[in-house]
Structure 1
Amino acid sequence: MYLSPKTMFFNLLTIFIFFLLSPSQSISIPKDDQNKHQNKLNNNDTSAFSLSFPLTTSPLSLSPPNTSKTFHASLVSNSKQNPTLSRRSAGGATLKTPSYNYKISFKYSMALIVSLPIGTPPQTQQMVLDTGSQLSWIQCHNKNPKPRPPPPPTASFDPSLSSTFSVLPCTHPICKPRVPDFTLPTSCDQNRLCHYSYFYADGTLAEGNLVREKFTFSRSVSTPPLILGCAKDTSDTKGILGMNLGRLSFASQAKVTKFSYCVPNRPARTGSNMPTGSFYLGHNPNSAGFQYIDLLTFGQGQRMPNLDPLAYTVVMVGIRIGGKMLKIQPSIFRPDASGAGQTMIDSGSEFTYFVDEAYSKVREEIVRLAGAKLKKGYVYAGVSDMCFDGDSMEIGRLIGDMAFVFAKGVEIVTPKEQILAEVGGGVRCVAVGQSNMLGASSNIIGNFHQRNQWVEFDLANRRVGFGRADCSRSV
């Protein structure tokens, strides 16, 4: 889910793209890509991508919650060849395939924005890395005259410059209604091409065609042609890199068996130097120290109305604040018969969101510890009323560390010095919101609480790994 409370009513690329993509609308408003099918990876037929994409974080904009936000990014690319990775052929023989390491600078403002080479020859496109959605899409626009060389990374994709670009006709199976696990509002346009349209909460329209295109990492390493959305709305050049468990996500189509990212802290103030983190496709050299928890998986027959079966669902057992374990039943963090209570790891959501029972317990403890400092009558973006306008270090000391506790004793700990998110105007909030205010009934662990933490999605082994790290350093 691409979910940022600062743009709660805009949240571009989130609300309908992931709300309309699934009949089981279960996640939060942005990027509810609720689809209905479990992606079954074949461990003997995997690609050998081993790529790293350093992340850079940028401060939050001070635009109001209902304002359209664009992300400004710069690209500094440096590619070099990595050692080869192995994969097995159909006959069982081990094959060596070269892999490449890419280091790309970019800004991160509430979302992880990676710059990826798409097409032949490649055009670098900025995409929001989103583990909460399935459909990947880019902004497309034919330019006249055709630029040479290909346009810079801030420009939309020009299909006319790519020799591997193709469009999907209306006769393609994906364009038919209610295809399993990818229910998409499609229609035939005047050219008999598969057309899709999405309307966002602020009235913004994103529409275009479903297409096929390659991600070209080097002359010798590229994906096969993948199904993407090619949007014609050029109001924003950012796209979505859908990375959930759906069969049409980037991870599934490219047969990526493992990926990971490390989100750095946001700068303390606007204008600060931008720290750098990393995004890996393939093996992460830091994984030896990771702690893993198993993913909960759901069969195709489990059609619960509040469940997203394609999300990275984990078993959470509790929340600890300032050394005190809150009195919350572990069942609150697990899906019930309707699917409500699901706990998912979502790179596309900035804040973390809890269902009412958990949120109320968190707020009760925050009030007990620092209630005198609360900004009275203030609700940030309609989702969080745990905000302050005093000294953040003092308030952090009053509250203490916040820990999310998962199965097998695995914890994500946010230290007291970093527990508050600056939301503008000198106001800082505990980065936890109420999921019901988003029309959701899920627990969503956002990227604010994934900072300085390796988060690895091991698809082949159906697990998620965590490892503490200084993500502002080269990792």
Structure 2
Amino acid sequence: SSGGKNAAAGAGPGPYGYDYGGRFRYSMALIVSLPIGTPPQTQHMVLDTGSQLSWIQCDKKSPPEKKRVPPPSTGFDPSLSSSFSVLPCNHPLCKPEIPDFTIPTTCDQDRLCHYSYFYADGTLAEGNLVREKFTFSPSRVTPPLILGCATDSGDAEGILGMNLGRLSFVSQNKVPRFSYCVPLRNGTAANSTGKFYLGPNPNSRTFRYIRLLSFPRLQRTPNFDPLAYTVGLLGIRIGNKKLNISAAVFRPDAGGSGQTMVDSGTQYTFLVDAAYSKVREEVARLAGTKLKKDYTYGGSLDMCFDGNPAEVGQLIGQIAFQFENGVEIAVDKARNLDGVGGGVSCIAIGRSESLGVAGNIIGNFHQQNLWVEFDVTNRRLGFGQANCA
């Protein structure tokens, strides 16, 4: 998963030359490898359009003991980079009254800016805020960006925060557009690789676009995420049948609940109850005799089956998410289900409530074999059919 450079024909590089293309590893997340620091150290990061703060795993490389060779560390060693600096407590970002900086910061005993952040799934990330450059090539270096330097997150990978927040990689770096293509996952194998671009995508003339929606009035409501990529989902089709779900279910209500977000950092798709119950009802009608009774996978997926997923997929038919301009994300019937182990497969749609989320999330499972382009400059999202392997 090494990043190569890719100049898109006719598109001049933007600031810092955004015509960078590379490959990522796809297991349940999109794991990109990016060169950080001076000289660059390759860091593995989850490309996450649902979060703001980017962070890397920081650790000093311990000197090798005489007898044992330590496992090679994948973390970032700040002492080896000449462009690394820490954010002191008196930096404006360390004053928590900044309204759109949604990551709680405090001052630690070393007078450094400490952050701690709980993700929706309950995992904690904490560390210090630092500044560091991304070194895409000797002539393509970003200015120092604010990142988290996690001292002990227990995760092998960091996060590349790609939402619309002002501290995301996209915003700090003025990335005009970026895109990725999630490959089909071959079973549980962790070695599928996909492609991504920071900047123009040479295939974009074949993309079909939908608008990104913004709801300024809901900015401060507790259930609304104003930094997410929010789209207008209009309906869901199973086979040839459009389900009887009001389009209002997919748009935020007065309290901000119900927005529909495209999130590369969530694996499955999650729907609010009013939509989920209709999907489940139709699945039960089509394949009810095979549904696994009283079974939920991972606290979220409860449309699960034993036996051959292709047979079940055949009974259910294609599942499609419908948007404006006739744009659809259609998932072939052979790929409706995801194997979760032990001969069990589940339809890759869960209840948002099970995540404690008040909106709808279209996860990366339903973005397989598609170019998905986040055109930040023109506030739109593009989709293009592709073979992403």
Equivalent of residue 398 in structure 1, options 315, 339, 344: 315
Amino acid aligned to 2:268: F
What residue is the counterpart of 1:240 in the other structure?
A: 159
**Does residue 169 in structure 1 map to residue 95 in structure 2?**
no
Query: 1:228 aligns to what SS in structure 2?
Result: strand
What residue is the counterpart of 2:39 in the other structure?
A: 121
What residue is the counterpart of 1:379 in the other structure?
A: 296
**Does residue 266 in structure 1 map to residue 185 in structure 2?**
yes
**Does residue 184 in structure 1 map to residue 110 in structure 2?**
no
Q: Is contact 2:19–2:200 with CA below 8 Å preserved after alignment?
A: no
Q: What's the CA shift string for 1:163-187, capped at 9, x where partnerless?
A: 1101100000110013121132211
Query: 1:86 aligns to what SS in structure 2?
Result: coil
Give 1:466 shift: 0.6
Give 1:79 shift: 5.0
Q: Is contact 1:293–1:463 with CA below 8 Å preserved after alignment?
A: yes
What residue is the counterpart of 2:49 in the other structure?
A: 131
- Give the 3 Å change call, closer, same or farther, for CA 390–278 of structure 1 in structure 2: same
Query: 1:227 aligns to what SS in structure 2?
Result: strand
Q: Distance in 2 between matches of 1:469 and 1:153?
A: 36
Q: Is contact 2:260–2:359 with CA below 8 Å preserved after alignment?
A: yes
Structure 2 spans left out of the alignment, 5+ residues:
65-69
- Give the 3 Å change call, closer, same or farther, for CA 195–173 of structure 1 in structure 2: same
What residue is the counterpart of 1:5 in the other structure?
A: none
Structure 1 spans left out of the alignment, 5+ residues:
1-74, 89-94
Q: Is contact 1:100–1:218 with CA below 8 Å preserved after alignment?
A: no
Instruction: Give aligned-pair identity as a percent.
Output: 65
Q: What's the CA shift string for 1:176-211, capped at 9, x where partnerless?
A: 013121132211112211012346799865321100
Give 1:398 shift: 0.2
Instruction: Kindly report which structure 2 residues correspond to 1:24-423, keeping only aligned pairs within 5 A, or say none.
Output: 75-76=1-2, 78=4, 85-86=11-12, 101-104=20-23, 106-145=24-63, 155-198=74-117, 206-233=125-152, 235-268=154-187, 270=189, 274-299=191-216, 302-423=219-340
Query: 1:217 aligns to what SS in structure 2?
Result: strand
Give 1:300 shift: 7.4
Q: What's the CA shift string for 1:27-71, capped at 9, x where partnerless?
A: xxxxxxxxxxxxxxxxxxxxxxxxxxxxxxxxxxxxxxxxxxxxx
Q: Normalization by structure 2: what TM-score?
A: 0.92
Give 1:119 shift: 0.5
Alignment coverage as a number of residue pairs: 385
Give 1:377 shift: 1.2
Q: Is contact 1:115–1:153 with CA below 8 Å preserved after alignment?
A: no
Q: Distance in 1 between matches of 2:110 and 2:153?
A: 21
Amino acid aligned to 1:459: V
Q: Distance in 1 between matches of 2:380 and 2:91?
A: 33
Higher alpha-carbon deviation: 137-146 or 403-412: 137-146
Q: Distance in 2 between matches of 1:204 and 1:369?
A: 37
Give 1:305 shift: 1.6
| Runs of 4+, deviation exceeding 6 Å | 80-84, 200-204
| Aligned CA-pair RMSD | 2.5
Amino acid aligned to 2:255: S
Query: 1:370 aligns to what SS in structure 2?
Result: helix
Q: What's the CA shift string for 1:65-99, capped at 9, x where partnerless?
A: xxxxxxxxxx44555777684368xxxxxx9x766
Higher alpha-carbon deviation: 310-319 or 191-200: 191-200
Query: 1:316 aligns to what SS in structure 2?
Result: coil
Q: Is contact 1:138–1:237 with CA below 8 Å preserved after alignment?
A: no
Q: Distance in 2 between matches of 1:378 and 1:370?
A: 15
Q: Distance in 2 between matches of 1:314 and 1:181?
A: 21
Amino acid aligned to 1:378: Y
What residue is the counterpart of 2:67 in the other structure?
A: none
Q: Distance in 1 between matches of 2:205 and 2:371?
A: 11
What residue is the counterpart of 1:50 in the other structure?
A: none
Q: Distance in 1 between matches of 2:360 and 2:4?
A: 38
- Give the 3 Å change call, closer, same or farther, for CA 284–449 of structure 1 in structure 2: same
Amino acid aligned to 1:132: G
Amino acid aligned to 1:108: Y
- Give the 3 Å change call, closer, same or farther, for CA 299–342 of structure 1 in structure 2: same
What residue is the counterpart of 1:61 in the other structure?
A: none
Query: 1:197 aligns to what SS in structure 2?
Result: strand
Q: Distance in 1 between matches of 2:50 and 2:348?
A: 18
Amino acid aligned to 1:408: N
